[in-house]
Amino acid sequence: MTKIYKKHQDVKEDLVTLVKSLASSGKYLLPPERELAVLLDVSRMTLRKAIGELIADGLIRQEGRKNEIVNSSGLLCNCGKILFVASGVQCAFHLQALERLWLNFAPIAKMQGADISLLLTDSSTGFNLVKAQIRQADVVLISPFKCNVTDEQVIAYLKELEKQKLVITLTECYFGAVKNIISLDNYAAGEMAAEALVKAGYRKIFLMGYSFEENNKDESFEKRIAGFSNVLKQHGLLRKNCIRLVERSAGEYGIKCREILNRAVEAGEDAVFIYSDESIQMIVSDICASGAVPDKFGIISLNGCGDSLRNIPPVSCVSHATMGVAEALLKTLADFSLKRLDLPVNILIKPELYDKGTIRRIFKIKAGFARNPKEGIQNSEFRSQNGNQKFKKQRNSCYGG
């Protein structure tokens, strides 16, 4: 009897049907290639071509020799209840970077079967209410939040909480108190900003941003300053008074920063890294109107609020790596759902540079790396600490990562 060979398009359709069937029954790995070829009655060469097309379509991904089903409706259904905690009021986040993360992460997580909810708190929120919400969750995704107790009490609580359930911090503020972290690499963000300005030919460079009280320092901003300073030091450009922090008083922060910037231009300085783009329109208005940017003076910021890209003209900035963090969260939760997550999870996502014309043209700066916060490992993919699971970072969304 003559064997009828299937076309790879027919095999692809059979494979899609199988993927949907496996996903609906809670299975997320395809059978081994040899077994799959027998099951579909197809040659392994044709099967590989069909698998390649499903990988390109985003239905499956390869993990070593395994083919894993992705984008399935039940991928995260075994995570239990997931609670995303941030600072805010009702449905308004205090930090827009975290709002972007929620908007990029939550819809996909829900499509993949996650039972996920949001808790926004402010200084009037009762700590008992926060604990009651967290008590009902199986997974807690935590960022700096406010309630009616001190930060020290919150940190002590998180240390105990981590013994009971999976807790992942989304910023470097809680790293140390919480062992698991998926976040923007703030040290790398500072490095990237400084390196961009140096490669563009600027030499009298300084950093500007808002200050924190000694007992209320933000680790994320401290690391941006450290990364920035280290690059200037390496190039012999670190000067006294190159870090200028302004008190964050209501209505005056942007005005004070604008005055500092104008005086810096008059004094012959030629570039600034504004480590948060809050009030950036007010800060850069005079210098942009003067025509000095970018030939005589360079400006780079960090796309936290998103105002860098909304400014007219847009300000060159370092991204907040939103999509990279969202992807890493989804991957980590999928591993947790499949009961194969290795702890601790230590993933820092390096940002990208958005060159919008407020610095001179430079050679492209390589982005999309990740660094292990404990070991300083750098590589072209981001990965969990054990190094066994890796996946490439996609580009950030069009309105800023």
* Phi then psi dihedrals of residue 365, to 5 deg: -90, 130
Q: What is the mean pLDDT of residues 287-310?
A: 95
- Whether pLDDT at 215 is above 90: no
Looking at the DSSP assignment, which residues form a beta bridge with residue 209?
Answer: 245
Tokens at 7, concatenated: 């076309």
pLDDT of residue 226: 97
- Would you place residue 222 in the very low, low, confident or very high pLDDT band (cuts 50, 70, 90)? very high
Q: What is the pLDDT of residue 381?
A: 32
Q: Which residues contact 352 (CB under 8 A, 6 or more apart)?
A: 318, 319, 321, 367, 368, 395, 396, 401
Percent of the chain with pLDDT over 90: 57
Mean pLDDT of the chain: 85
Record the tokens describing residue 252, joined without a space: 């005056």
Q: How many angstroms separate the CA atoms of 196 and 30, rounded?
A: 45
Which of helix, strand or coil describes residue 252?
coil
- Looking at residues 50-55, what average pLDDT do you find? 87
Single-letter amino acid, residue 282: M
Interval 85-99: pLDDT, tens: 999 998 899 999 999
- Is 34's pLDDT higher than 70? yes
* Residue 22 confidence class, pLDDT cut points 50, 70, 90: confident
Average pLDDT, integer, range 373-401? 35
pLDDT at residue 151 is higher than 50: yes
Residue 67 half-sphere exposure toward CB, CA atoms < 13 A: 25
pLDDT band at 205 (very low <50, low <70, confident <90, very high): very high
Of residues 197, 211, 223, 199, the one with CA closest to residue 252: 211
SS3 172: coil
pLDDT of residue 170: 96
Spatial separation of the C-alpha atoms in residues 241 and 207, rounded to whole Å: 9
Of residues 384 and 171, more confidently modeled: 171
Residues contacting 35, CB < 8 A, separation 6+: none
- If you average pLDDT over residues 38-65, what whole number do you get? 85
Model pLDDT for residues 110-145, shown as the tens digit of each residue: 878 899 999 999 999 999 999 999 999 999 999 989
The closest alpha carbon to 168, from 341, 339, 28, 306, belongs to 341
Neighbours of 300 (CB within 10 A): 29
- How many residues are given for the chain? 401
The pLDDT-based confidence of 6 (bands split at 50, 70, 90) is: low
Tell me the pLDDT band of 204, cut-offs 50, 70 and 90.
very high
**Which two structure tokens, joined as six digits, stand for 80?**
């239990």
Per-residue pLDDT, 310: 93
Dist CA 220 CA 243 (whole Å)? 16
pLDDT-wise least confident of 48-62, 327-341, 377-391? 377-391
Lowest-confidence segment of 69-78, 111-120, 147-156, 321-330 by average pLDDT: 69-78
Cβ–Cβ under 8 Å, residues 97 and 301: no
Residue 147 has pLDDT above 80, yes or no: yes
| Predicted confidence band of residue 193 (pLDDT cuts 50, 70, 90) | very high
Tell me, what's the pLDDT at 20? 77
pLDDT at 296 over 70: yes
pLDDT for position 254: 93
Q: Any idea which residue has 């009961």 for tokens?
A: 339
Q: How many other β-carbons are positioned within 10 Å of the β-carbon of residue 266?
A: 8
**pLDDT the model gives residue 108:** 81
196 residue type, one letter: A
Range of lowest pLDDT (228-232, 320-324, 354-358, 378-382): 378-382
Report the run of H or E that residue 69 belongs to, with start and end.
strand 66-69
In this predicted structure, what is the pLDDT of residue 364? 47
Task: Give the per-residue pLDDT at 65.
Answer: 76
- All residues at 6 or more sequence positions from 89 whose CB lies less than 8 Å from its CB, including other chains: 120, 122
34-45: average pLDDT = 90
